[in-house]
Structure 1
Amino acid sequence: MSEASLEARIETLEARLMFQDATIETLNETVTTQWREIDALKRKIANLSERLQEAEAGLPRPANEPPPHY
């Protein structure tokens, strides 16, 4: 291989490496953002679940509930 050919291949590899680094950084930011959103949603679901259980605990139960087929 000639020196010019080798140099061109190295430049191509360097360009690919820079592109891959940028892509990996973008993906990392995306995953981190999604992780934060998922964590916040899990906390909201847990909070809503607790509130629902508290609300259901405060409801009076029917004394003579008819069977479901009526």
Structure 2
Amino acid sequence: MERITAAEEQIAHLVKAVEELSDVVAGQARELERLARRVGMLMEREAEREAMGNTIPLADQRPPHW
């Protein structure tokens, strides 16, 4: 009986750990989606800015230390 109780306690701890990890993963997924949207918006904004001017695209410019 004692072994069953110990196993049940371990299972309860494992279930709690899995639920906590699931919450962390869900939060990370939401953060990744938010960041992906922001990167997309920044890329669109930069493309519009580059299209408006006759300048060399930022990605093709040499760094200032060269």
Q: Percent identity?
A: 30
Task: Give the TM-score of the pair, scaled to structure 2.
Answer: 0.81
Q: CA RMSD in A?
A: 1.6
Give the count of matched residue pairs.
57
Task: Give the TM-score of the pair, scaled to structure 1.
Answer: 0.77
Q: How does 1:35-50 map onto structure 2 within 5 Å?
A: 35-50=29-44
Q: How does 1:1-70 map onto structure 2 within 5 Å?
A: 7-61=1-55
**Residues 19 and 33 (structure 1), Cα distance of their counterparts in 2 relative to 1, 3 Å cut:** same
Flag the structure with more relative contact order, 1 or 2, with Cα contacts below 8 A and sequence separation at least 6: 2
Deviating beyond 2 angstroms after TM superposition, the runs of 4 or more aligned structure 1 residues are none
Task: Give ranges in structure 2 of 5+ residues lacking alignment.
Answer: 57-61
Structure of higher CA gyration radius: 1
